[in-house]
Amino acid sequence: MTPALAFDLLLIAALLWSAARALTTADVFRAVVLFIVFGLLMALAWARLGAPDIALAEAAIGAGLTGALLLDAVGHLRAKQREPEQ
Amino acid sequence: MKAWRTALTALLCAGLALALGAAMLALPGFAVRLPGQVAANLDDSGVAHPVTAVLLNFRGYDTLLEVAVLLLALLGVFALSLHGSGHARPSAPAHPVLQTLARLLAPLMVLVAGYLLWIGAHAPGGAFQAGAVLAAAGVLLRLAGLLPAWAQPGRLLRGGLALGLLVFLAVAAAALAQGSLLQYPLAYAGPLILLVEAGLTLSIGLTLAGLYLASAGWRQ
């Protein structure tokens, strides 16, 4: 087994694991972090597939901006839970 | 009952995945070899990178409409936030380390965005990636508490949001006077694409950052 093939198999396993965990985990914050991890791994996968343009866009938009938006949403939800009267 | 339902859902999902895989395998071969055509016409596109050539020249329509859709999405966010309570709660003061880091990183990110815009003509990069980096800089500054949320976007900001689409439309209209829409004259194709991409970078950066900054004004 060549190192490249081993890396690809590892990448596939990590992608499937992070996707499954992001969908099934009960804690919202943890799910968002796993989603960001999934986005970064997906960017790696695009780079391995020879599509650096898509890898750049995925890392910046898929992982970075979407992650920031989702984290902000989690913050809003927590703030609302803490002060339910307002 | 619940386990039964989960098993049924998993079975249906697996069936759908199998059907999709079978459909992919049953696809007929390509009628037109698009990569070959792009490579053959690359010299006429004004840029040396095939992805940029397709996005800004051969399939310029798609990019033009994509930018319009992006702007419409932000208008939707604006409509929602103007409908809401309006007043942004002042954000909690951020950690000084985060503030220093943001101050150091933001100029570097602007530099990277400019590099990505310039390199897009002959290597992976281009307006969308550069705009995304600009937007990330905006979000980072907002998280560090150095940038206010957009409670009421001013005229300059609105102009910047529309600039990319307007430049693209102006270039398309100018090309229409010469012949057909978005068919750049050969001699000016490179500079025109750079002009369009520069406008798009600014507008995409502002729009993507705006999706975050406008909704950050919703607190309350």
What are B56-70's pLDDT values in tens digits?
888 888 888 999 999
Cα maximum dimension of chain A: 60
- B143, A68: Cβ pair inside 8 Å? yes
- Domain coordinates of chain A in residue numbers? 3-82
Mean pLDDT of B93-117: 89
Q: How confident is the model at residue B220 (pLDDT cuts 50, 70, 90)?
A: very low
Å between A28 CA and nearest CA of chain B: 19
Q: What are phi and psi of B144, to 5 degrees?
A: -80, 0
Q: Which domain range does residue B14 map to? A: 2-218
Of B51, B133, B215, nearest to A53 by CB-CB distance is: B51
Task: Say whether pLDDT at A82 is over 60.
Answer: yes
Mean pLDDT of A18-34: 92
Task: Say whether pLDDT at B41 is over 50.
Answer: yes
Is the ipTM reported for this complex over the cut 0.95? Answer: no
Instruction: Identify which has the larger pLDDT, B13 or B188.
Output: B13
Mean pLDDT of A51-72: 86
A77 and B CB contact within 8 Å:
no
pLDDT of residue A69: 84
Q: Which two tokens stand for residue B207?
A: 């729009």
CB pairs under 8 A between A and B: 45
- B211, A64: Cβ pair inside 8 Å? no
A57 and B CB contact within 8 Å:
yes
Instruction: Identify which has the larger pLDDT, B86 or B59.
Output: B59
pLDDT in tens, B165-219: 999 888 888 888 777 777 777 777 888 888 889 999 999 999 988 888 887 655 5
pLDDT of residue B90: 52
Task: Sort out which chain B residues have CB atoms less than 8 A from A57's CB and list them.
Answer: 128-129, 132
- A57, B211: Cβ pair inside 8 Å? no
pLDDT of residue B212: 83
This prediction has a pTM of 0.79
A72 and B CB contact within 8 Å:
yes
Task: Sort out which chain B residues have CB atoms less than 8 A from A79's CB and list them.
Answer: 219
| Number of domains into which chain B is organized | 1
B215 and A CB contact within 8 Å:
yes
CB half-sphere exposure, B41, CA atoms < 13 A: 15
A53-57, B42-46, B47-51, B141-145: which range is least confident on average? Answer: B42-46
